[in-house]
Amino acid sequence: MLPSLPNLFGRRAVFSTPAPDNPICVIGDVHGCIAQLEMLLVQVPEDHQVILVGDCVDRGEHSAEVLRLISARPEFTCLRGNHEEMLLRFLESPEAYGPRWLRYGGLQTLASFGVRSARAEMSKSELRGCRDALQDAMGDVLCQWVQGLKTSWSSGNVLVTHAGADPNSDPAQQSDTSLVWGHPSFQKVDRRDGVWVVYGHTIVGQAGATRGRIAVDTGAYATGVLSAVCLDGNEPRFLTARP
């Protein structure tokens, strides 16, 4: 059992071993790194459900391949990260949301789908043209798959999200904003209900579990290392993949 630690309210935060109802393997932010994802998937035990924390797109060079791989595996669960959120906003209103998305990895995603006319600075008409080309390249089925991504998954004493959660709110009452973009108190305040939150979004030097938080984003697009955690009621077991 992992140790109990004090929280900022002066009460002890008690965290037993993270134990979902069935074994799971939670994969960190892929960000278009298809080689690392394929290497990691072969390490996942056969009886573990695969869950991805989101941010599967942008920054890396192979977002299209990543989306096509995971969307073709209905047994996988993929959550919505802030980069999927930015992609959806671009599809909805390229003039309003395109410039920011392009600065944070959208150019690489467009290129992976064969939309190579995109540039960091574009007119409104050019942004609309890129949006239309991306929609055609993705197709209705994949667009709808991304739109249908949920913001959290929970089982037993484990909550999986992209960016963390409000530590003062029940897992079932979290806002999508906290789950997708993060909450200012997440890293500062320990939960009192014993729920472990598995999350990505924030790059760490090494995946690890502490004080009710399990971080699995090791910055694959920048470091080359993709990480995951296996949870089956025993101590967390971490997996890594580097080409």
pTM score, two decimals? Answer: 0.93
Q: Are 195 and 159 in contact (CB under 8 A)?
A: yes
Query: 178-191, pLDDT tens digit by residue?
Result: 999 999 999 999 99
Residues of the chain with pLDDT > 90: what percent? Answer: 92
Closest CA to 54 of 153, 183, 187: 153
Query: 49-95, pLDDT tens digit by residue?
Result: 999 999 999 999 999 999 999 999 999 999 999 999 999 999 999 99
Q: Can you read off the two tokens belonging to residue 85?
A: 């959120």
Query: 129-166, pLDDT tens digit by residue?
Result: 999 999 999 999 999 999 999 999 999 999 999 999 99
Closest CA to 162 of 86, 230, 102, 215: 215
pLDDT of residue 9: 42
CA 123 – CA 141 distance, rounded (Å): 28
Query: Using 50, 70 and 90 to split pLDDT, how confident is the model at 3?
Result: very low
Would you give the distance in Å from CA 49 to the centre of its chain? Answer: 16
Q: Where are the domains of the chain?
A: 1-80+152-243, 82-148
Fold for the domain defined by 1-80+152-243: Purple Acid Phosphatase; chain A, domain 2 (3.60.21)
Segment holding 172, helix H or strand E: none
